[in-house]
Amino acid sequence: MARKQKAGGAESTSPEPAPPADAPAEPAAEAATAAQPPVAPVAPADKPKSTSDILAAARAQKAGGAAPAAPKSTTDILAAARAQKAGAGPAAPAAKPGSTADILAAARAQKAAGGGAAQPGTSSASSPAAAKKAAPPPEIAGLPAGSKPSVEAMLKAVRTGDAAATEPPKPKLPVKASAAPKPPAKGESRRSFLDTVLSPFVIGFTALAAWGAIGSLAAARFMMPNTVLELPSRFKIGSASDYPLGMVSEKYKASRGIWVVHTDTYDGRNIIYALSTVCTHLGCTPNWLDAEQKFKCPCHGSGFYVNGINFEGPAPRPLERVGLRVSEDGQLEVDKSLKFQEELGQWTDEKSFVQVS
Amino acid sequence: MEAHPDLTRGVVQGLGWLYLVMFAMNFVWTVRSFRRDGEFESLLGFKHLPKAFVWAIYTGTLMIFAAVHLTLRTSDASAFVLKLPEWFKLSVDWLIADPVKYFAASIVLFVLMLVLRRWWTKPTPAWILLNLSLLFLGFSMTDYDFRQIVGKPDNVPIVGMLFLTGFFTWLYFRQAVENDDRAAAGRPVKEKELSQQVLVWPDLVYTELVCMVLLTALLVVWGVALQAPLEEPGSSVKTPNPSKAPWYFLGLQEMLVYYDPWMAGVVLPLIIIAGLMAIPYIDFNQKGNGYYCYNDRKFAVVTFLFGFLPLWVAMIILGTFIRGPNWNMFGVYEYWDVHKLEVLNNVNLSDWFWLDIMDRSLPKPDATASLLAQTGTILTREWLGIVLTLAYLIVLPPLMAVTVFRNYYVRMGFVRYIVLANLLLFMAALPLKMVLRWVFHLKYIVAIPEWFFNI
């Protein structure tokens, strides 16, 4: 409506607003003084072409209600009633837009009405009785919906009719009665309890909670894998005579993560010791290359001599020794809970090696 | 060993398909060349020979290649003649199996890429480069060792990605060169003059739909054709040899060869990420906003591309194709010998200083002494490295501010300049350390294994 007014104001050359779009309604508004029966209700007698027709009819009806004027005939009354009802009557099809085209047509018509006086041609043109007083001249009213009248035409319309500045009455939009029966109030039936319990909201959140609970349990289970986390750190590896001088035994590499080395290249002492198979650079497992007499890490190329001292690649410190001793039964016993680091001077510790002869 | 132990019919036929695709590509190119490239004034005595003639001959050769490969009988596979000459393989291996030469070559390529950008962004040179790289790939596939490493299911997508990297680099330089030319001629940049707007619906959405379908198809083909490289269950006491990081971390793994895990695994990656995030805040250059350019942003472009291409992509190539067992470097045509011997004896700076220069033994912290005394001994042992490192990070930035970066310092202000200078120095730290390792066999500048602190 506001848009309609604005558009009308913009188009108008006179200070007064242009004749409101729904010209047939005007006489009805002035019916009290003019004592002229409104003609508009006649209009819907033709089958309304569009929503705007119905709206015009509704407006007319309202205006008629404000200043009762004798309808001319039964058909008028019926038409008015139909227009008011607008939901079920024969006028309905237009009110209930059947398709996008209908809606578009209605919108177009409304817009055109805002542009000036473009009332849907059928109703205005078919009511010559409305002519003299306020209705726009036929050259305007007769324009097809959508085309705007020229300024001259509008001026003429303003001059001839004493265009009332009255606001176009608001259309009484057809109210669609809600047909659905009210749902039974709570406690009305035994089913209400089930309805509450089985409502999508409750089901949804119950499912979500169950899913979350199962997920939490799974996560908790995942935190406790079915593995032996730590092998016993003390284990026997046989007697010292199993490890001849110059030997690097890889026997316990895969199962326990140690090499057993018998060498005399560290401090010139003839000793057996156990080296941890963890590279001191980034923790990969180096390989013992017998031909090159070195431990070589496959990840970044660190290299260690047989005595565990780092000499190539990025490893910053020697391999670590683990504890080794001769147990009571004469076998060598490794204790992985002890660590001996060369750079901290711990390789001199008696627990880090076994002296041979 | 036989040079082509299993040059099977399947491999040869695969190459046939490759040549067939190349034939199709070059057929289209020949047509394009005929329409656009004009003609030679005089070639081999012929006047007005269209340039497309050369392409036509090349395309026809490819057709013959494809036909020969595709129709080869099984029994002929070993008698196959279209393979790489030994001298080529040896020279390629000689170049890339050595870290110094490899890195130098990547720097040379990088500089050539920048200097010759006007040449190689033209369509014809770019097409020639693409064809050369495809031919290199095709011919190399006849080599067993190359096929083993490049044809590995993990590595096939990386080969594709390298082509993609090349394409996008080319695309950038092409647009940048064009805009630089426009700027020199006083014309508006391409993005402004030819603002080619695309409607979201339907144009863009359809394009996206087509891309989506094609990529999905590609993923399906990839998933079906290349088997997932699954291995035996992981074990804490068994490390595959070589043990390679995922391809996107191979740059980090290469960095780890030269640095302590704390530096290469934690500090430097964090600095890389933080530095990339800091770029918008330290960048004061108003130009280059919303359009491609090279001349307007030389410093930014060169710095970024240096960090990305030689220091990241080249390291990925190195880690994927060249690092072999025991993390030694192998040429792409070289057999992966587990016992290949590379002498990599390294010494720390403190070793070098105390043993060689001062001719005395390394100061060793006494385990029984007080903590303070031990700390003093350690710091005395490493004083040279500590002083050098601090000088690198503290003295160099002001020095650069009054020399090479005078302009930058004035325009950026103190804080932004210091951030920029430190980021640059950290970036330069990797190649510097590499060079030090290769030239002086230097392991660590500061080596304090007692505190797990090594630089």
Instruction: Give the range of the structural domain holding residue B68, as residue numbers without chain letter.
Output: 1-82
Cα separation, A179 vs A240, in Å, equals: 99
- For A124-181, the three-class secondary structure string (H helix, E strand, C coil) is HHCCHHHCCCCCCCHHHHCCCCCCCCCHHHHHHHHHHCCCCCCCCCCCCCCCCCCCCC
pLDDT tens, chain A, 357 aa long: 444 444 444 444 444 444 444 444 444 444 444 444 444 444 444 555 667 777 777 777 665 544 445 555 666 666 666 666 554 444 444 445 556 666 776 667 776 655 444 444 444 444 444 444 444 445 544 545 455 557 777 677 667 755 444 455 555 665 555 555 555 555 566 677 778 778 888 999 999 999 999 999 999 988 887 776 667 788 999 998 889 988 899 999 888 889 999 998 888 889 999 999 999 998 889 999 988 899 999 989 899 999 999 888 889 899 999 999 999 998 999 999 899 998 888 888 888 999 987
Distance from CA of A338 to the nearest CA of B (A): 17
Secondary structure tally for chain B: helices H, strands E: 21, 4
Contact (CB<8Å) A316/B259: no
Crossing angle of helices B99-115 and B414-440, in 10° steps, is 140
For strand B39-43 and strand A354-355, is the pairing parallel, antiparallel, or unpaired?
unpaired
> In a 3-state reduction of DSSP, which class is residue A354?
strand
Closest by Cβ to B344, choosing from A257, A303, A344? A303
Count of all residues that appear for chain A in the document: 357
> In a 3-state reduction of DSSP, which class is residue A298?
coil
B chain contacts of residue A300, beta-carbon cutoff 8 Å: 253, 256-257, 327
B chain contacts of residue A319, beta-carbon cutoff 8 Å: none
- What CATH number is given for A234-355 in this structure? 2.102.10.10
- Please determine, for residue B25, whether its predicted confidence score (pLDDT) is greater than 60: yes
Return the pLDDT at A73: 62
A chain contacts of residue B344, beta-carbon cutoff 8 Å: 301, 303, 312-313
Q: Is position B393 within any domain?
A: yes
CB of B330 less than 8 A from some CB of A: no
- Please determine, for residue B392, whether its predicted confidence score (pLDDT) is greater than 90: yes
Q: Which of A87-91, B37-41, B129-133 has the lowest mean pLDDT?
A: A87-91
- Please determine, for residue B376, whether its predicted confidence score (pLDDT) is greater than 80: yes
Q: Is position B376 within any domain?
A: yes
Q: How many CA atoms lie within 13 A of B4 on its CB side?
A: 21
Contact (CB<8Å) B260/A257: no
Integer angstrom CA distances of residue A98 from A105, A121, B392 = 11, 21, 81
Residues A127/A43, Cβ–Cβ less than 8 Å: yes
CB of B269 less than 8 A from some CB of A: no
A chain contacts of residue B346, beta-carbon cutoff 8 Å: 311-313
> In a 3-state reduction of DSSP, which class is residue A236?
strand
CB of B433 less than 8 A from some CB of A: no
Measuring CA to CA, which residue among B406, B378, B8, B256 is closest to residue A316?
B256
Contact (CB<8Å) A313/B257: yes
- Please determine, for residue B216, whether its predicted confidence score (pLDDT) is greater than 90: yes
CB of A2 less than 8 A from some CB of B: no
The overall pTM is greater than 0.90: no
CB of A155 less than 8 A from some CB of B: no
Residues A56/A26, Cβ–Cβ less than 8 Å: no
Residue that is last in its domain, among B54, B82, B110: B82
A chain contacts of residue B256, beta-carbon cutoff 8 Å: 281-282, 299-300, 314
Return the pLDDT at A70: 53
Residue that is last in its domain, among B29, B62, B82: B82
> How many degrees, rounded to 5, is the angle at CA B64 between CA B59 and CA B67?
125
Residues B385/B455, Cβ–Cβ less than 8 Å: yes
Quick: pLDDT tens for B251-270.
999 999 999 888 888 999 99
φ and ψ at residue B83, rounded to 5 degrees: -135, 170
Measuring CA to CA, which residue among B277, B305, B378 is closest to residue B110?
B305
Tokens of B158: 């990386």
- For chain B, the three-class secondary structure string (H helix, E strand, C coil) is CCCCCCCCHHHHHHHHHHHHHHHHHHHHHHHHHHHHCCEEEEECCEEEEECHHHHHHHHHHHHHHHHHHHCCCHHHHHHCCCCCCHHHHHHHHHHHCCHHHHHHHHHHHHHHHHHCHHHHCCHHHHHHHHHHHHHHHHHHCCCHHHHHHHCCCCCHHHHHHHHHHHHHHHHHHHHHHHHHHHHHCCCCCHHHHCCCCCCHHHHHHHHHHHHHHHHHHHHHHHHHHCCCCCCCCCECCECCCCCCCCHHHHHHHHHHHHCCHHHHHHHHHHHHHHHHHHHHHHCCCCCCCCCCCCHHHHHHHHHHHHHHHHHHHHHHHHHHHHECHHHCECCCCCCCCCCCCCCCECECHHHHHHHHHCCCCCCCCCCCCCHHHHHHHHHHHCHHHHHHHHHHHHHHHHHHHHCCCHHHHHHHCHHHHHHHHHHHHHHHHHHHHHHHHHHHCECCCCEEHHHCEEC
- Please determine, for residue B56, whether its predicted confidence score (pLDDT) is greater than 90: yes
Please, which pLDDT band fits residue B110 given cuts at 50, 70 and 90? very high
Integer angstrom CA distances of residue A338 from A320, A333, B124, B248 = 10, 12, 68, 38
Nearest CA in chain B to A289: B339
B chain contacts of residue A312, beta-carbon cutoff 8 Å: 343-346
Q: Residue type at B336?
A: W
Contact (CB<8Å) A314/B239: no
Please, which pLDDT band fits residue B19 given cuts at 50, 70 and 90? very high
Beta bridge partners of A260: A249, A274
Tokens of B224: 């079906």
Residues B174/B118, Cβ–Cβ less than 8 Å: no
Cα separation, B268 vs B274, in Å, equals: 10
What contacts 24+ positions apart, CB below 8 Å, involve B417-420?
Answer: B419/B278, B419/B281, B419/B282, B420/B282
Q: Strands of A237-349 (E only): list them.
A: 247-249, 258-263, 271-276, 287-289, 294-296, 303-305, 310-312, 321-326, 332-340
Residues B146/B334, Cβ–Cβ less than 8 Å: no
Q: Which of A305-309, B123-127, B285-289 has the lowest mean pLDDT?
A: B285-289
Q: Is position B7 within any domain?
A: yes
φ and ψ at residue A161, rounded to 5 degrees: -85, 145
- Please determine, for residue B141, whether its predicted confidence score (pLDDT) is greater than 80: yes
Nearest CA in chain A to B362: A343
Higher-confidence residue of A175 and B382: namely B382
CB of A281 less than 8 A from some CB of B: yes
Q: How many CA atoms lie within 13 A of B392 on its CB side?
A: 18
The residue ranges of every structural domain in chain A are 2-160, 234-355
How many structural domains compose chain B? 2
CB of A289 less than 8 A from some CB of B: yes
Among A296, A336, A339, A344, which would you mutate to test the B interface (most chain B Cβ atoms within 10 Å of its Cβ)?
A: A296
Contact (CB<8Å) B449/A317: yes
Q: Residue type at B146?
A: F
B:347-366 residues touching chain A, CB 8 A cutoff: 364-365
CB of B441 less than 8 A from some CB of A: no
B:127-146 residues touching chain A, CB 8 A cutoff: none
A:6-65 residues touching chain B, CB 8 A cutoff: none
Establish, for the pair of chains A and B, how many residue pairs have beta carbons separated by less than 8 Å. Answer: 92
CB of B261 less than 8 A from some CB of A: yes
Measuring CA to CA, which residue among A48, A52, A143, A126 is closest to residue A91?
A48
Nearest CA in chain B to A290: B339
Residues A284/A270, Cβ–Cβ less than 8 Å: no
CB of A336 less than 8 A from some CB of B: no
Tokens of B179: 């805009």
For strand A234-236 and strand A332-340, is the pairing parallel, antiparallel, or unpaired?
antiparallel
Quick: pLDDT tens for B400-441.
999 999 988 999 899 999 999 999 999 999 999 999 998 888
Q: Is position B244 within any domain?
A: no
Secondary structure tally for chain A: helices H, strands E: 13, 11
B chain contacts of residue A288, beta-carbon cutoff 8 Å: none
Return the pLDDT at B102: 93
Measuring CA to CA, which residue among A34, A39, A45, A47 is closest to residue A22?
A39
Residues B265/A282, Cβ–Cβ less than 8 Å: yes
Closest by Cβ to A287, choosing from B241, B261, B343? B241
Closest by Cβ to A253, choosing from B237, B241, B258? B237
Cα separation, B90 vs B96, in Å, equals: 10
CB of B207 less than 8 A from some CB of A: no
Contact (CB<8Å) A343/B449: yes
Residue that is last in its domain, among B67, B82, B97: B82
φ and ψ at residue B427, rounded to 5 degrees: -65, -40
Contact (CB<8Å) B237/A298: no
- Please determine, for residue B215, whether its predicted confidence score (pLDDT) is greater than 90: yes
Measuring CA to CA, which residue among B427, B325, B249, B356 is closest to residue A292?
B325
Q: Is position B51 within any domain?
A: yes
Nearest CA in chain B to A282: B261
Residues A21/A168, Cβ–Cβ less than 8 Å: yes
Return the pLDDT at A130: 42
Return the pLDDT at A20: 45
B chain contacts of residue A296, beta-carbon cutoff 8 Å: 326
Distance from CA of A75 to the nearest CA of B (A): 52
